[in-house]
């Protein structure tokens, strides 16, 4: 797919347009040389994810996940660049987008709250694809209510000891390190008393106890911490400020989830237009049928609606002072819900072919569903938007 016309919108600068054009060329080349062509036998999901990390690292795209001081492409994390990359990668392959996104989310707490030593050790390796990152926040009883986490961090003779379980951890089982959030004050409630820790995957006491299979396959696991000893130097940021660090990290990458959803929706619209222009029907083609044109019109409107909110939020985060929680939540809610509708319509327009395994729209139908849940379910986004809207009203 060619360079994106919507990059002419005023949210973007020349470097964003150049980045999209370069990645458009790269994804076209990748389409001619898929990962499978480099392997003697079919790749497992883990192998494919690792291969995407290597390919993205070699292309220089993972450098946008970390600041320039630690091997990155830009002085600071740029939400618009992250969104440009995720939208384009999602249009090409959902696992490519996933591999890119997890490098940024998994290392984001190090970028925002890590010591110079932690950054120096891990961020250059994230940027080259040499190390795979993971973000370990969710637990069996702490998903949408992230403040309910129970993983316990207690002081030990050598630093800290972690005990408990994390689940739904993306890159679980293939990551080289985990940014782990644990309750370091036993009697604390909610977001108080939570600290963040950098835990290498080979730390004794840390184990992968279950690999989780989902409708759109990607590395996902449950982690168990059993008397897992880590040094004082593993603390990310200040003790007791881990929840705030997690929320700051999510504020950056939540907008990029909206961009990935927009990429999925844009690919679905492309597939639907292509199909409608070729499918013979009633003496002409499907695209000449008024009902099909109306459906395509709704799809195009929904794609641009989600994209406008997405890039407004990314621009806000890059250029305006203060947190962007409300606009980020609007973007994630709108883009993911609208993308679900767009892709559903694309499947419908394809008819029986649309549900055949291996068709692009069938894959997109599986890819989009999780985006309405992870990094804050749609219901949570609605609560955030309402809360932020009330705050703004009361300030006025």
Give the separation between CA 296 and CA 276, rounded to whole angstroms: 9
Range list for CATH 1.20.140.10 in the chain: 243-395
Give the separation between CA 272 and CA 348, rounded to whole angstroms: 9
- Beta-carbon contacts of 287 under 8 Å, excluding residues fewer than 6 positions away, are 273, 276, 277, 279, 293, 296
- Beta-carbon contacts of 300 under 8 Å, excluding residues fewer than 6 positions away, are 269
What local confidence, expressed as pLDDT, does residue 1 receive? Answer: 61
DSSP string, 245-263: HHHHHHHHHHHHHHHHHHH
Please compute, for residue 194, the number of CA atoms within 13 A of its CA located in the half-sphere on the CB side.
22
Residue with the two structure tokens 């009203």? 393
Give the separation between CA 94 and CA 367, rounded to whole angstroms: 6
Kindly tell me the sign of the dihedral angle through the C-alpha atoms of 157, 141, 45, 211.
Answer: positive
Backbone φ and ψ of 207, nearest 5°: -140, 155
CB 108, CB 249: distance < 8 Å = yes
Pick the catalytic residue from 87, 271, 362, 375. Answer: 375
Give the separation between CA 329 and CA 278, rounded to whole angstroms: 38
What local confidence, expressed as pLDDT, does residue 186 receive? Answer: 82
What local confidence, expressed as pLDDT, does residue 190 receive? Answer: 84
What local confidence, expressed as pLDDT, does residue 3 receive? Answer: 55
Q: Which two tokens stand for residue 61?
A: 């795209």
DSSP string, 267-287: HHHHHHHHHHHH-EETTEEGG
Q: Which two tokens stand for residue 357?
A: 């395994």
- What length is written for the chain? 396
DSSP string, 7-70: GGSTT--HHHHHHHHHHHHHHHHHHHS-GGGGSSSPPPHHHHHHHHHHHHHHTTGGGGGSBGGG
In the CATH hierarchy, which fold is given to the domain comprising 134-240? Butyryl-CoA Dehydrogenase, subunit A; domain 2 (2.40.110)
What local confidence, expressed as pLDDT, does residue 127 receive? Answer: 98
Kindly tell me the sign of the dihedral angle through the C-alpha atoms of 104, 107, 111, 112.
Answer: positive
E-strand ranges in 216-375 read 220-231, 235-236, 280-281, 284-285
Residue with the two structure tokens 């996940």? 65
Range list for CATH 2.40.110.10 in the chain: 134-240
CB 295, CB 344: distance < 8 Å = no
Range list for CATH 1.10.540.10 in the chain: 5-131
Identify whether 47 is a catalytic site residue: no
| Domain at 243-395, CATH from 1.10.3720.10, 1.10.274.50, 1.20.140.10, 1.10.540.10 | 1.20.140.10
Residue with the two structure tokens 């001081």? 69
What local confidence, expressed as pLDDT, does residue 42 receive? Answer: 84
What is the value of pTM for the model shown?
0.94
- pLDDT tens digits for range 247-268: 999 888 999 999 999 999 999 9
Interhelix angle 360-369/325-350, rounded to 10 degrees, is 150
What local confidence, expressed as pLDDT, does residue 130 receive? Answer: 98
Going by C-alpha positions, the residue among 156, 161, 230, 241 that lies closest to residue 195 is 241
Give the separation between CA 363 and CA 367, rounded to whole angstroms: 6
Buried b or exposed e, range 278-287, using 16+ CB within 10 angstroms: ebeeeeeebb
CB 113, CB 156: distance < 8 Å = no
CATH of segment(s) 5-131: 1.10.540.10
Going by C-alpha positions, the residue among 367, 368, 370, 333 that lies closest to residue 168 is 370
- pLDDT tens digits for range 114-125: 999 999 999 999
Give the separation between CA 243 and CA 157, rounded to whole angstroms: 25
How buried is 106 (Cβ within 10 angstroms: 0-12 exposed, 13-18 middle, 19+ buried)? buried
Across the chain, which has 396 residues, the per-10-residue mean pLDDT values are 74 94 95 79 92 97 97 96 97 97 97 97 98 97 87 95 97 98 88 94 97 95 98 96 93 93 97 96 94 98 97 95 89 98 98 95 97 93 95 91
What local confidence, expressed as pLDDT, does residue 228 receive? Answer: 98
């Amino acid at each position: 797919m060619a360079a994106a016309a919507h990059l002419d919108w005023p949210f973007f600068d020349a470097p964003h347009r150049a980045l999209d054009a370069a990645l458009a060329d790269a994804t076209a080349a990748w389409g001619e040389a898929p990962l499978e062509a480099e392997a003697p036998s079919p790749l497992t999901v883990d192998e494919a994810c690792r291969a995407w990390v290597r390919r993205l690292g070699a292309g220089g795209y993972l450098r946008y996940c970390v600041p320039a001081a630690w091997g990155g492409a830009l002085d600071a994390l740029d939400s618009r660049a992250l969104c440009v990359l995720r939208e384009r990668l999602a249009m090409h392959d959902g696992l490519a987008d996933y591999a890119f996104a997890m490098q940024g989310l998994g290392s984001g707490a190090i970028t925002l709250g890590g010591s110079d030593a932690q950054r120096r050790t891990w961020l250059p390796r994230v940027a080259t694809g040499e190390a795979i990152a993971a973000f370990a926040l969710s637990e069996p009883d702490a998903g949408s209510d992230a403040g309910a986490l129970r993983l316990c961090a207690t002081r030990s003779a050598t630093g800290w000891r972690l005990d408990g379980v994390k689940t739904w951890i993306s890159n679980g089982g293939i990551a080289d390190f985990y940014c782990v959030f644990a309750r370091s004050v036993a009697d604390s409630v909610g977001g108080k008393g939570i600290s963040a820790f950098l835990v290498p995957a080979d730390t004794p006491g840390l184990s992968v106890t279950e690999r989780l299979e989902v409708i759109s396959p990607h590395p996902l696991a449950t982690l168990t911490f059993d008397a897992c000893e880590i040094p004082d130097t593993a603390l990310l940021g200040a003790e007791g400020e881990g929840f705030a660090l997690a929320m700051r990290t999510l504020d950056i990458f939540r907008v990029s989830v909206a961009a990935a959803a927009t990429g999925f929706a844009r690919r679905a619209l492309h597939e639907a237009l292509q199909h409608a222009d070729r499918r013979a029907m009633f003496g002409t083609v499907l695209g000449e049928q008024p009902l099909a044109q109306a459906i395509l019109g709704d799809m195009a409107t929904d794609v641009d609606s989600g994209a406008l909110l997405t890039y407004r939020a990314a621009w806000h985060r890059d250029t305006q002072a203060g947190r962007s929680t409300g606009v980020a939540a609007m973007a994630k809610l709108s883009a993911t819900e609208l993308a679900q509708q767009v892709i559903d319509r694309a499947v419908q327009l394809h008819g029986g072919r649309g549900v055949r395994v291996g068709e692009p729209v069938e894959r997109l139908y599986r890819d989009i569903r999780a985006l309405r849940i992870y990094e804050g379910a749609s219901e949570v986004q609605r609560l955030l938007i309402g809360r932020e809207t009330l705050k703004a009203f009361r300030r006025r």
